Amino acid sequence: MSIRNTQINLSRRGLLKFSAGAIGTGVLTVGLSSNLLAAEKKAPAAPAEDEINPDKALQELLDGNDRFVKSKRRNPHQTRSRLVEVAKGQKPFASVLGCADSRVPSEIVFDQGLGDLFVCRVAGNIATPEEIGSLEFGSLVLGTKVIMVVGHEKCGAVDAAIKGAQVPGQIGSLLEAIKPSVESSKGKSGDRLENACKANILAQIEKLKSSTVLSELIKAEKLKIVGGYYDLDTGRISLVN
């Protein structure tokens, strides 16, 4: 074999290694339409999961929460075989943008298991650029069919924003992101904190919908974005419109 042929083969090997690494880390280097096709063709999934649509995905979340509330959890997809299965690849059916509050763990309150949910959690369930990017990846590349923004009763971050709390470090950045919702909910009848929490959920939904990636998926009827409000006392999640 000539030196030139050896160099070509080595270059090809290097290209293959680079491509594999890029795919493995979710590097998106082509246009939106190409990504949509790639996501559909390459994402690993069980046949039943391929058939799910946004409405069915939302209903699965609500059904799981209903089981949780009624103490009838099935604890699905939590076996050793499921662990081995999803180690080979993931195709979660839903994404959740939730508060980091320790009392609202998504997999538990929706009665789901390994590989079912793509979860982003941050205090105040705010849609930061990083959270939006993560959810774009979850929907475009992994194929989640619904994104639920989940706020909750007595949210400490929203309460602090209402009170104008003086906080150290980067905590203030969270409160600044919530303040517009506090303002927009002023004057409404009912509990002020609950009103602000729900307004914040709706505000974060609008931020997500401003993403060109997510908006294109919504237009193509491949994605739905909804809001949910979690009751700490009952465990019930109600839709917020």
Give 193-215 pLDDT, tens digit per residue. 999 999 999 999 999 999 999 99
Give 133-175 pLDDT, tens digit per residue. 999 999 999 999 999 999 999 999 999 999 999 999 999 999 9
pLDDT band at 46 (very low <50, low <70, confident <90, very high): very low
The pLDDT, as a whole number, for residue 3 is 43
Whether 15 shows a pLDDT value over 80: the answer reads: no
Pair of tokens at residue 19: 């491509």
pLDDT band at 17 (very low <50, low <70, confident <90, very high): very low
Same domain (yes/no): 8, 74:
no
Mean pLDDT of 45-69: 84
pLDDT band at 22 (very low <50, low <70, confident <90, very high): very low
Same domain (yes/no): 64, 79:
yes
What is the number of domains present in the chain?
Answer: 2
What percent of the chain stands above pLDDT 70? 79
Mean pLDDT of 83-96: 98
Whether 80 shows a pLDDT value over 90: the answer reads: yes
Alpha carbon of 227 to those of 15, 127, 131, 185, 205: distances in Å? 43, 13, 16, 16, 7
- Closest to 104 measured CA to CA, from 233, 240, 239: 233
Same domain (yes/no): 151, 235:
yes
Same domain (yes/no): 14, 88:
no
**Mean pLDDT of all residues belonging to the chain:** 86
Whether 11 shows a pLDDT value over 90: the answer reads: no
- For the entire predicted model, the pTM comes to 0.81
Same domain (yes/no): 136, 164:
yes
Same domain (yes/no): 91, 53:
yes
For position 197, which CATH number holds? 3.40.1050.10
The pLDDT, as a whole number, for residue 50 is 58
Same domain (yes/no): 8, 94:
no
Same domain (yes/no): 115, 87:
yes
Instruction: For strands 94-98 and 146-152, give the pairing.
Output: parallel
Q: Which residue in this structure is represented by tokens 């298991």?
A: 113
Q: Helices in 114-232 by DSSP H: which ranges?
A: 129-140, 156-163, 171-184, 192-209, 212-219
Same domain (yes/no): 19, 132:
no
Q: Which are the contacts of 167, defined by CB distance < 8 A and separation ≥ 6?
A: 160, 175
Judge whether 232 and 153 are in contact, CB under 8 Å: yes
Same domain (yes/no): 86, 18:
no
DSSP string, 59-121: HHHHHHHHHHHTT----TT-SHHHHHHHHT----SEEEEE---TT--HHHHTT--TTTEEEEE
Same domain (yes/no): 13, 59:
no
How far apart are alpha carbons 16 and 38 in whole angstroms?
A: 17
Same domain (yes/no): 11, 59:
no
State the residue range of the domain holding 18: 1-30
pLDDT band at 51 (very low <50, low <70, confident <90, very high): confident
